[in-house]
Amino acid sequence: TKCEIGDSLEEFLTKSTSDKGLIRLLVCMGEALRTIAFKVRTASCGGTACVNSFGDEQLAVDLLANKLLFEALQYSHFCKYACSEEVPELQDMGGPAEGGFSVAFDPLDGSSIVDTNFTVGTIFGVWPGDKLTGVTGGEQVAAAMGIFGPRTTYVLALKDAPGTHEFLLLDEGKWQHVKDTTAIGEGKIFSPGNLRATSDNTNYAK
């Protein structure tokens, strides 16, 4: 069945892959991204960190995002191992080694500029089985990022579906397929969080 603009996340995934475990995992990550978007949007930024409430705790937003993503992976029941930039050691998520997945993620890339109101995001890769060492990017079954800015989007690439696919978070909390990208042309794109690299990388002068 052909994927179409306007599909929900669940509809798109069902059309794109027959792997129900992968569908479940990516939907659970979408739920976490939706919550992170709200937490980033409502964070209180002081002199040292941007924080938000998580139950009875006050956590920096990057640590809160880290916690939410680990919980989503565990809740999916299809993640065997996971690690993050905050917790680089492999964590057993309780999923199966056979038919399950392992996930590596950066919970909130750009968290140091949340207080400036620039766009930040979550990045993750999904590998089949129980390995995150000795594997390559080409072995991923899925890669994705959540982008938290004026709009909240979930951008997915699946091994079984050509191109990348962008989903927009609607006001009612649902993800809607809004864009396909199969090729990226030349462009002038600059990340404010990457400003220091301009002094080290001569290519920025071109």
> What residues does each domain of the chain span?
9-183+192-197
Q: What is the pLDDT of residues 46-105, one digit of tens each?
A: 655 667 666 665 578 899 999 999 999 999 999 999 999 999 999 999 999 999 999 999
Residue with tokens 């905050």: 86
Q: Given a cut of 70, is residue 158 above it in pLDDT? A: yes
Residue with tokens 């696919």: 165
Angle between helical axes of 9-16 and 20-41 (0-180°, round to 10) = 150
- Report how far residue 112's alpha carbon sits from residue 196's, in angstroms, rounded to the nearest whole number: 13
pLDDT at 155: 98
Lowest mean pLDDT among 14-23, 98-107, 142-151, 183-192: 183-192
CA 59 from centre of chain: 19
Residue in 6, 14, 8 with CA at minimum distance from that of residue 161: 14
Question: Which has the closest alpha carbon to 101: 124, 78, 120, 122?
Answer: 78
Q: What percent of the chain has pLDDT over 70?
A: 88
Q: Which two tokens stand for residue 60?
A: 């920096």
Query: Given 3.40.50.720, 3.40.50.300, 3.40.50.2020, 3.30.540.10, which CATH number is that of 9-183+192-197?
Result: 3.30.540.10
Give the residue from 3, 5, 69, 6 showing the smallest Cα distance to 32: 69
Q: What does the pLDDT average to over 26-55?
A: 83
Q: Is 26 helix (H, G, I), strand (E, B) or coil?
A: helix
Q: What is the mean pLDDT of residues 10-27?
A: 97
Residue type, 151: R
Tell me if residue 127 falls in helix, strand or coil: strand
Full-model pTM: 0.88
